[in-house]
A and B are shown apart, each in its own frame.
Chain A
Amino acid sequence: DQQVKQNSPSLSVQEGRISILNCDYTNSMFDYFLWYKKYPAEGPTFLISISSIKDKNEDGRFTVFLNKSAKHLSLHIVPSQPGDSAVYFCAASAMYGGSQGNLIFGKGTKLSVKP
C-alpha cells in the first residue's frame, strides 16, 4: 500500500525550461513533505521541504507547492540545468512527535535535462 506515489517514473526536459515533478499522498496524518535528490552511486540528499501550514516554499531555482485538499505536492525547477539530472524522491512525514523522522518515500522520478 503506497502512501506516497510518484506516478511518473521519468521526465525529460530541455535545458532552461521548467521541470515539474509530481507527488501524491494518501495519509492525512502527514504534515511535513520533503524532496530528496539522488545521483547514481550516491545516497539521497535533501533538497527542499514544506510543512502543511504552507502552500509554497521557495529556495533559489526550486519551489515546492502543496495542495492539501488534493493531497498533492509538486516540485518546480526553473530554469532546469543539466546538473539537475537525477532521481527525485518525494517523502512525507510528521513535523512533530514520535513519527518525526519516519520518512515515507515515493518510488522516485528520474529527471533528464537535455542541453
Chain B
Amino acid sequence: DTAVSQTPKYLVTQMGNDKSIKCEQNLGHDTMYWYKQDSKKFLKIMFSYNNKELIINETVPNRFSPKSPDKAHLNLHINSLELGDSAVYFCASSQLGRKNIQYFGAGTRLSVL
C-alpha cells in the first residue's frame, strides 16, 4: 500500500508535446511538493502546495504547472516539452507543521527526444 504514488514511472515523448505526471498520497498530509533531479543528480524543489498556498521556485519555467484536484493529489503538467526537461521528477508530501519530513514517491523518469 504505497504512501506516495506517481504515474507513470517512465515517460518518453517528443519535444514540443504536452504531458502530465500524476501524484497521489494516502497519508492524509496537507502539503505536497514536486522535485526535479537532473542529470547532475541535483534534487531541486519546484513547487510546494497546500490548499491555501502555492509556492513556486522562481527558476521553474511557466511551462510547468501543478494542478491539485483535491488534498490527496498534486499533478504536474508540462507544456511544450524541451530537451532540458529530461530528468527524474519526484512527488512528495508532508504534514503541515512538519514540512521538513517529507515522504517521496518513487519518481517518474521523463525522457524528451
Contact = CB atoms under 8 A, between A and B. Distances in A.
A69 B105 CA distance: 35
User: Mostly helix, strand, loop or mixed at chain A's interface?
Assistant: loop
B90 interface: yes
Interface residues of B, number: 23
Given A101-B48, A102-B55, A105-B44, A44 B90 contact: yes
Contacts, number: 55
A98 to B, nearest CB: 8
Interface string A41-68: 1111110010000000000000000000
Interface in B14-51: 31, 33, 40-45, 48
Contacts of B31: 101
A107 B41 contact: yes
Contacts of B101: 34, 46, 49
A101 B94 contact: yes
B64 interface: no
Interface of B: 4, 31, 33, 40-45, 48, 55, 90, 92, 94, 99-107
Interface of A: 32, 34, 41-46, 49, 89, 91, 93, 95, 98, 100-105, 107-108
